[in-house]
Amino acid sequence: MGKALETLLSILAQEGVTPMLEESTATHLEGYRGWSLDELGANADVIIIIGGDGTTLGIARRMAQYKLPIIAINAGRLGFITDFSQADMQEHLPPMLRGEYEADSRAMMHATLYRNNEIIFDQTAVNDAGITHGMAGSMVEYTVFVDGHPMATQRADGLIVASATGSTAYAMAAGGPILHPGIQAMVLVPVAPHTLSNRPIVLPSASIIDIHLINAHEAAAYCDMQEFITMQKGDTLRITALPNRFTMLHPRGHNHYDTLRKKLYWNCMPTDNAALPVTK
């Protein structure tokens, strides 16, 4: 990471861009002042992240109120929302800093946990929000209401409510559909439901989704699997789409289907010479 950061700073200097380093990052370099995230939000023009999807999600949530665009450089593994690798910085970043980029506006969600009519948890989610079982590992029982109407009562390991961006994350791993990030929708995906007829469902982004916890040995509400709070019987987690959006900047020519093909290996086809498993 140190070498990548040095490369990034060198590119910024070449392009005449003044860097502002986040305070924990600045401690690894001499001669740079550190800035808090709030100071960066108030003074910066763009946020450049070197990290994985998790790092990008956390920063996107924090920077949402400042409406700063984000350039994400992949230092993780899969990286659905981090566009290019550290090795490709010199190729892609300079043109983007000169204004040659594709802007991609993404939806976010808001999660509020109510207990006895009081708000005890209030967070923003970029990928997903929902409920999950605790350390006990047993199922949770809940009822889902959509716009005040009861939709389903389920027993499962949890329930994911994902944005279009988050449809390629936990929701996809749990069997949910992939949504194009331009779609104004949320997807509900039960995790290991007890009844197999409980299937994922796509809802309009204007929907108000309430998850009422009926019973559980342990349960927790979460946002992006980074913010958690323990739930109690009778709690209700309300999830809605936020009017605010966050903006990703991609290299010129970026296409979402290219990302899916690359990250999910959709371009890998068997050949006549491929070794096939032998069955007896």
pLDDT attached to residue 120: 97
Non-local CB neighbours of 89 within 8 Å, separated by 6+ positions: 4, 7, 8, 11, 73
Give the DSSP letter of residue 245. Answer: E
- Which residues is 156 bridged to in the sheet? 140
The one-digit pLDDT tens for each residue of the chain (280 residues) are: 578 899 999 999 999 999 999 999 898 888 899 999 999 999 999 999 998 888 888 888 888 889 899 999 988 777 788 888 888 999 999 999 999 999 999 999 999 999 999 999 999 999 999 999 988 778 999 999 999 999 999 999 999 999 999 999 999 999 999 999 999 999 999 999 998 899 999 999 999 999 999 999 999 999 999 999 999 999 999 999 999 888 999 999 998 999 899 888 888 766 655 555 555 4
**In the chain, what are the helix, strand and coil shares in percent, each to the nearest 5?**
25, 40, 40
State the catalytic residue, choosing from 53, 128, 210, 235: 53
pLDDT attached to residue 275: 53
From first CA to last CA, the distance across the chain in angstroms is 49
Number of Cβ within 10 Å of residue 259's Cβ equals 17
Integer Cα distance of 50 and 185 in angstroms? 29
Identify whether 53 is a catalytic site residue.
yes
Nearest to 200, CA basis, from 219, 184, 179:
179
For 209, the token pair is 């989704």
